[in-house]
Structure 1
Amino acid sequence: MDEEKYPDDIRTYTGRNILRRPLFIIYILLAVSYLLIVIGFAVTLSKATTLSSQLNETYNKMKINPSGRDLHLFPCGPDNRQWEYFNGKCYYFSLETVPWQEAKTKCEEQHAKLVVIDGFPKQNFIQTRTRNERFWIGLHELQTEGEWKWLDGSNYRTGFKYWKQGEPNDYMRHDEDCAQVWINGEWNDFTCSSSCYYVCERPMPSPPPAAPKGK
């Protein structure tokens, strides 16, 4: 009965208004979505352009200095891929067994020395790569019995030590004047004339000078 109080045109107008308002909101949402898509595309394009520029710059640097690229892949030198990098130095783990003196000479021929272990980080690095085998290190008492010395002159008395329990000693009264990393990583003194693997150590090579610009 209340409906009859209003003219037909008012009822029609009110109905159309109710239908149009949701459509208006949908148009607004579509417009906002489109704007967000455009902004996202612009940001992605900008990042892609920046990344492309950086890649081109890196590629040009590699063309100018190809050896620099090799040093990233092989820090110890592309011609010495059997050397392993650790904490600023390079290490060679031999594949042959020789007496201690010969191991010392072989390292020197490669401008290196038998490894000097000066702390737990290097000890852990060495023992994880020498497990279950014996490797000579640069520690000996060849000059005076009981006076152990490192080949690089490091102070043995106050320095890092990792001997096996009961070592060093002269087993069965045999002169054991050279040190090795034992099969479990601990140090052991052994007869220098015996054949063992060995570990060489040397500084990481300096990178070659960059080529002059424009060449």
Structure 2
Amino acid sequence: MDEDKFQDDIRTYRERSWLQFRSKPYFHVYVLLAVSYLLILVFIIVGLSKVTSLSSELSEMNAEIPKRPSGLDDQLFPCGPDTRQWEYFNEKCYYFSLETAPWTRAKTRCEEKQSQLVIVNSMAEQNFLQSRTRNERYWMGLTDMDAEGVWRWLDGSDYTRGFQHWKAGEPNDDARNEDCAHLWGNGEWNDVYCTYLCYYICEKPLPGAATAHHRGA
């Protein structure tokens, strides 16, 4: 009987302890905290689900929106944002030097810039160039140093049938081996000896234009 009474006392003690615990204020606090954590967990799961869904929708929308062919830099600097000293005209880029040099040195300078001395193909291009030369003299990619009187463009363009804009009476050689051509102060062409110190104009295709042309050929 003593043992049964002992077991009853232990059970009674546990029940009283539990009731006392439940009656204490912090029991409700623990319950509220547990509920709060559960709600936070639910919100996190729902939020992650929403984020995943929105991300998927945004990806689909971006795929449907046509991309612009070029960025703002390409629009402001068609010749490339890293070559802002180059000027754009009619699918080509032009560099107007700030230094003078003999014709052969000017030719090398342009080649170092992955370009060539300018080839003038039309009156529109001529007008563009002479509007930028500011009454100075600039080398072109035109010479007859290989054979006197036989003028040729560096890129092999047909000189005889192509555009020409010589100053009156030029080219005249003047018995001084005037084998290189430059833009005169007013934009007209003149021949002069190739060691003359002159500014120069380099030209190259618009970036990507040469590749596009090659693919279309």
TM-score by length of 2: 0.64
Q: Which amino acid aligns with 1:120?
A: M
Kindly state the Cα deviation for residue 163 of structure 1 after the two structures are TM-superposed. Answer: 0.3
Q: Which amino acid aligns with 1:94?
A: S
1:188 paired to 2:193: no
Kindly state the Cα deviation for residue 138 of structure 1 after the two structures are TM-superposed. Answer: 0.4
Q: Which amino acid aligns with 2:117?
A: L
Kindly state the Cα deviation for residue 170 of structure 1 after the two structures are TM-superposed. Answer: 1.7
What is the CA RMSD across the aligned residues, in angstroms?
2.0
DSSP-derived class of the 1:156 partner? coil
DSSP-derived class of the 2:71 partner? helix
1:170 paired to 2:173: yes
Per-residue displacement from partner, 1:60-85 (whole Å, max 9, x unpaired)?
A: 989x99x7221011000000000000
1:96 paired to 2:96: no
Distance 1:159 1:175 in 2: 24
Residues 30-69 of structure 1 aligned to structure 2 (within 5 Å)? 68-69=71-72
1:136 paired to 2:139: yes
Paired residues in the alignment total: 146
The equivalent residue for 1:200 is 202
Distance 1:99 1:152 in 2: 19
Distance 2:80 2:177 in 1: 39
Q: 1:119 aligns with which of 119, 122, 130?
A: 122
Per-residue displacement from partner, 1:162-202 (whole Å, max 9, x unpaired)?
A: 0001000122x201000000001100001101110000000
Distance 1:156 1:96 in 2: 28
Distance 1:96 1:126 in 2: 17
Distance 1:149 1:122 in 2: 18
DSSP-derived class of the 1:80 partner? coil
Q: Which amino acid aligns with 2:123?
A: F
TM-score by length of 1: 0.64
Identity of aligned residues (%): 59
**Structure with bigger gyration radius:** 2
DSSP-derived class of the 1:160 partner? coil
Kindly state the Cα deviation for residue 109 of structure 1 after the two structures are TM-superposed. Answer: 0.7
Q: Which amino acid aligns with 2:201?
A: V
Distance 2:184 2:202 in 1: 16
